[in-house]
Structure formats: structure tokens, C-alpha cells
Amino acid sequence: MNNSGVQEIYYSEMKHTPIGPLTLFATGTGLCQVEFGDAATSCNRLERWFADHFGGAALRESELQLDEFRRQLEAYFAGELVEFSLPLDMRGTDFQLRVWEALLDIPYGDTVSYKDIAVRIGNPKAVRAVGGANNRNPVPVIVPCHRVIGAGGQMVGYGGGLGIKETLLQLEAVRGGALLF
């Protein structure tokens, strides 16, 4: 928070990744948002989200504040990192937070179904709600919602588009059907 009581959120754009530009947003606590796209578009698109989840925000561009986040993502894209060790500041409902925590348990290179996640969080009938929580994951790639596929092994739904999901799974050398974790 700054002196006026507004949450400071730092951002930095990664212009060149295998999935196109990414814009990273972090509070003093941790990474709070990863957006597919350039910084200007992402900042405009997230204005309402920041108001809803932080009561407003003062956005500050800062390579320094996001250096470690960028470094780990670059290592992931280079195939040198299989598990992130980044502090997160995720904002969502209790249900969403449980789903996102379960996503963090999916090992690199594995895939699971939406049903697997629903069972994992103790609510096996919540398959559609798990899909909705996946869609609202504020930190894709780091919280690996791309590793969740349809029950029959088919590619379904991804906030960044199926092409990005397929690229991430290919990067992790995932081939074929769902694996349980």
C-alpha cells in the first residue's frame, strides 16, 4: 500500500516467449496476475479486476520488482525449470483457491482431468465449477491449469486459447491421455 491507501502493483512485460507476450503483475506479497498479451492492453483489461480484488491499484512498471518472476519463467520456457518457487498473491473465492492449490500439485509433464481435480478437492460433482475456477486462474503457467484436460484426453478450454495450451503441453512433452497424480 502506498500513503494514499491504494495497493501498489508492479508490472513487467515479457515480449518474447514461446506463447507470445506475457505481462506479469505482482504486489509486495507475490505474483497476482499473468496476462497473455502486451502490457498496455493487459493494464487496461485488468482495471476492473484490480478494483474488485484490491480496492483499486496504482500500477507501476518495474523490471526490478519482477526480475525473479521473469527469470523463472524464462528458465521454464527454456526447459531448465520444472517447478516454480515463486510467492503468489492469488485472489479468489475459497472454492477457487482450493482448485488453484490442487493445480499446483500436478507434476510437470502430467495431465489430469477436471473430474480428477474435483475429486482431489473433495467435491467430485463440481466438475463444471472446477472448469470455471480454471478459467479464472489469475496466474496461468505458474499455476498449471494448462495441465487439466477433458476426461477422454481431449483438449478443452483454456483462457489463453487452445493453441497456447497445446504449446505449453508440448513444451512439457505431454503426450496422450490423463495421468492421475
Model confidence pLDDT, tens digit, residues 156-171: 878 788 899 999 999 9
Active-site annotation holds for 32: no
Q: How many other β-carbons are positioned within 10 Å of the β-carbon of residue 83?
A: 10
Please state whether the predicted TM-score (pTM) of the whole model is above 0.85. yes
**Catalytic-role residue among 22, 129, 145, 178:** 145
CA distance 169 to 4: 43
CA distance 143 to 166: 16
Model confidence pLDDT, tens digit, residues 54-111: 887 889 999 999 999 999 999 999 999 999 999 999 999 999 999 999 999 999 999 9
CA distance 35 to 138: 8
Q: How many other β-carbons are positioned within 10 Å of the β-carbon of residue 89?
A: 19
Predicted confidence at residue 4, as pLDDT, reads 57
CA distance 51 to 68: 26
Domains annotated for the chain, with CATH where assigned, are 7-77 (3.30.160), 94-171 (1.10.10.10)
